[in-house]
Structure 1
Amino acid sequence: MLPHGTFTAWLLLLSPLLVLLGVTLSWAVCPCADPALCDPIKHIPDFEVFVFHVGRKSWKLYDWSNITTVALFAQYDPELMCFAHSKGARFVLKGDVRITDMVDPDNRTAWITEKVNLAKHQFMDGINLDIEQPIFKGSPQYYALTALVMETTDAFHREIPGSQVTFDVAWSPDCVDLRCYNYSAIASSCDFLFVMSYDEQSQIWTECVAGANAPYNQTLEGYDKFINLDIDPKKLVMGVPWYGYDYTCLELSQDNKCALFKRPFRGAPCSDAAGVQVSYRAIMKQVNGSSSGRLWDDQQKSPFYNYKDKSGSVHQVWYDDPESISLKVAYVKTGGLRGVGMWNGDLLDYSSDPSAQEQTAAMWKALLP
């Protein structure tokens, strides 16, 4: 016979697989030292701080003083669940599915049931729907997506009291990347929208040059457009990037204009696919030794820098730091938004290096208006 602890560990590992296979367990074993930590979080915070966790053990070094939700975009970790609950933070699933499969109501019901069961057996507090597929207004997928959000919210709220259902949207409701969703209905159907105010160069319709990942004016215009759809500002959480883009320049002008290779995306002739995503952690290790040092674009209100690689090619890196983030986050308060979050919590330097600790602390602090 297996020791109780070993059996529990195996059950926790197998539970998601069994749920996926349609096997419903009638019970689950709480992995926390205090069984009360397996109870769902029910309180609604005054201010939301939403964190995406994508892996590694860096979560132990997050600034937990204000975190209210952790969305799991990595392998399930019962230790993280227990710790999040000990801090009063929700711990939620990732929900991603091909929307063409969800046109059939029976498929929607089956998918939602699977996710609810998985959340129950992992003692989780809801789901973050991260569906970023192109959908045209009035199509079967358009109506299926709206129904999926409404039905998911109804099921989670019914089966897990106090649970949270959220939906990730692009920085603007203007069919960004052909995501022509019914944003008003989706916002009404779930607890709130997480607005991904980054990758704002995913479709470049003007001059094909490098630019800010989240330019200030463009970012705030996106929120104005959501609110003009009669979406309550308290249904909006501002997402900010903890990463930037490294672009190889075809040519760099004297006024720091970096011409890009054309990389079309969903109809646009140019996009940030011409660059490579780079973490804030890596950026901080490179910027001070770059050929230009940190520069500031006052129109986009974003930092950037230039450097040459070993082959002699010129690069331009655009990113966000505490200064640019704080400027945007100030709108969270003035605009009456529900809160703030970032993609993602694991992109900072959590090492013991004093300068890294200072940089990391400043990024967490910048989330608070």
Structure 2
Amino acid sequence: MQMCTVCWVPGLLLLIGTAVCLAACPCSDPALCQPIQHSRDFEVYVFLVRGKNWKHYDWSEVTTVALFAPYDPELMCFAHSKGARYVLTGDVSVKKIVDPKVRADWIAEKVNLAKAQYMDGINLDIEQPVLPQTPEYYALTDLVKETTEAFHREIPGSQVTFDVAWSPKYVDVRCYNYSAIAELSDFLFVMSYDEQSQIWTECIAGANAPFNQTITGYEQFINISIDPKKLVMGVPWYGYDYVCLNLTEDNRCALEKRAFRGAPCSDAVGRQVGYGTIMKQVNSSLTGRLWNDEQKAPFYNYKDKNGETHQVWYDDPESIRLKAAYIKKLGLRGIGMWNGDLLDYSDDPVAQEQTKEMWKALIP
């Protein structure tokens, strides 16, 4: 039996079937509390993780902001004024959702939260290992199906998306039913970064998202009958700083061996560094910006205060534009980044130009 809850809405006492107590619309125009109903032809998907940097995003292009930070009603109103969706992010233990009741309760909680905050959907960020044909494998697919059905029913025009690794070839033991999940959600956000989480060849530093490897991942998704319009290309606005055990004259940076999920080496030996921070360091480094034409990515070397040699691999407008060009060629739905707050949004004129170019690079 469904439990009823008494909720106060300003000037009105309501008896409703679920415990959703809507606060007064925080926007100056109440129409801005209505969910976004339409979708644009090209998706530009932004993950927001902190602060008020969103005020400096390129809102002429942004279509969705996924919230990895505390809820901000000011941002909700602003995003809606620009016709952009503002969505929750959600993660849940795949072991727990084998129980249908746990799954249903979790979905209901997220739908109610989105409704109470006048939001437009949810991004499912469930990056857990799952083996094929296990109870967790089927439960994860059911979670996507039931979440999409609930959000679409309760919030007209809402969006349910699912984050996947750069390839469907069971990266990091994420053995999901990718074709079913793509069909059951609005689209997949393909995290085309951290592609060195498992290094199977030599333990040397390399690009976060090598061009050929990245494009191959999309071809693999399409080859398992996923509609390209169900795929959004994720690009990194950060790089990796590696300590070199040895650096050769041809810039091969040998790494400490740290095994990960069966592979002998991993990018876990490196440190993630945001693009804004990288731009402050690259020009004063030992080498300045260098370019690897095989991986089609920039890098540089520097020495720290202890005399250790480091190599930093990252993406910049040149490397991102090369990947973005394939969006049209492959017919993908759009592009996005992890994450929108890794650029330098200060008043520094050089930083402002660098930030502008990174946003421009997203549009093929």
- Bin for the TM-score computed over the shorter chain: over 0.9
Q: Which residue of 1 aligns with 2:128?
A: 133
Q: Which residue of 2 aligns with 1:17?
A: none
Deviation (angstroms), 1:107? 0.6
Within 5 Å, which residues of 2 pair with 1:16-165?
24-165=19-160
CA distance in 2 between partners of 1:139 and 1:64 (Å): 42
Among 295, 299, 314, the alignment partner of 1:300 is 295
Q: Which residue of 2 aligns with 1:274?
A: 269
Deviation (angstroms), 1:263? 1.7
Q: Which residue of 2 aligns with 1:13?
A: none
Per-residue CA deviations over 1:299-329 (Å, capped at 9, x if unaligned) read: 0000000000000000000000000000000
CA distance in 1 between partners of 2:142 and 2:18 (Å): 26
Deviation (angstroms), 1:26? 4.2
Deviation (angstroms), 1:171? 0.2
Deviation (angstroms), 1:169? 0.2
Amino acid at match of 2:79: A
Q: Which residue of 2 aligns with 1:189?
A: 184
Aligned residues: 350
CA distance in 2 between partners of 1:92 and 1:269 (Å): 38
Equivalent residues of 2:20, 2:115 under 8 A apart: no
TM-score (norm: length of structure 2)? 0.95
Among 204, 211, 214, the alignment partner of 2:209 is 214
Q: Which residue of 1 aligns with 2:281?
A: 286
- Say whether residues 1:356 and 2:351 are aligned partners: yes
CA distance in 1 between partners of 2:150 and 2:231 (Å): 22
Amino acid at match of 2:362: L
SS at match of 2:239: strand
CA distance in 2 between partners of 1:65 and 1:351 (Å): 20
Q: Which residue of 1 aligns with 2:4?
A: none
Within 5 Å, which residues of 2 pair with 1:251-262?
251-262=246-257
SS at match of 1:245: strand
Q: Which residue of 1 aligns with 2:162?
A: 167
Per-residue CA deviations over 1:310-357 (Å, capped at 9, x if unaligned) read: 000000000000000000000001110000000000000000111000
- Say whether residues 1:176 and 2:146 are aligned partners: no
Per-residue CA deviations over 1:119-172 (Å, capped at 9, x if unaligned) read: 000000000000000000111100000000000000000000000000000000
TM-score (norm: length of structure 1)? 0.94
CA distance in 2 between partners of 1:173 and 1:63 (Å): 31
Deviation (angstroms), 1:56? 1.1
Q: Which residue of 1 aligns with 2:321?
A: 326
Q: Which residue of 2 aligns with 1:15?
A: none
SS at match of 2:66: strand
Equivalent residues of 2:22, 2:117 under 8 A apart: no
Deviation (angstroms), 1:27? 3.3
Within 5 Å, which residues of 2 pair with 1:239-254?
239-254=234-249
| Divergent runs of 4+, >2 A | 25-28
CA distance in 2 between partners of 1:216 and 1:368 (Å): 17
Deviation (angstroms), 1:212? 0.2
Deviation (angstroms), 1:25? 3.4
Deviation (angstroms), 1:269? 1.4
Deviation (angstroms), 1:28? 2.5
CA distance in 2 between partners of 1:203 and 1:100 (Å): 24
Equivalent residues of 2:21, 2:116 under 8 A apart: no
CA distance in 2 between partners of 1:235 and 1:296 (Å): 32
Q: Which residue of 1 aligns with 2:12?
A: none
CA distance in 1 between partners of 2:211 and 2:355 (Å): 22
Amino acid at match of 1:263: R
Amino acid at match of 1:142: Y
CA distance in 2 between partners of 1:145 and 1:119 (Å): 21
CA distance in 1 between partners of 2:22 and 2:302 (Å): 57
Per-residue CA deviations over 1:277-312 (Å, capped at 9, x if unaligned) read: 000000000000000100000000000000000000
Unaligned runs of 5+ in 1: 1-6, 9-21
Equivalent residues of 2:20, 2:113 under 8 A apart: no
Q: Which residue of 1 aligns with 2:5?
A: none
Unaligned runs of 5+ in 2: 1-7, 10-16
**Superposition RMSD on alpha carbons, in Å?**
1.3
CA distance in 2 between partners of 1:27 and 1:230 (Å): 41
CA distance in 2 between partners of 1:306 and 1:70 (Å): 34
SS at match of 2:60: coil
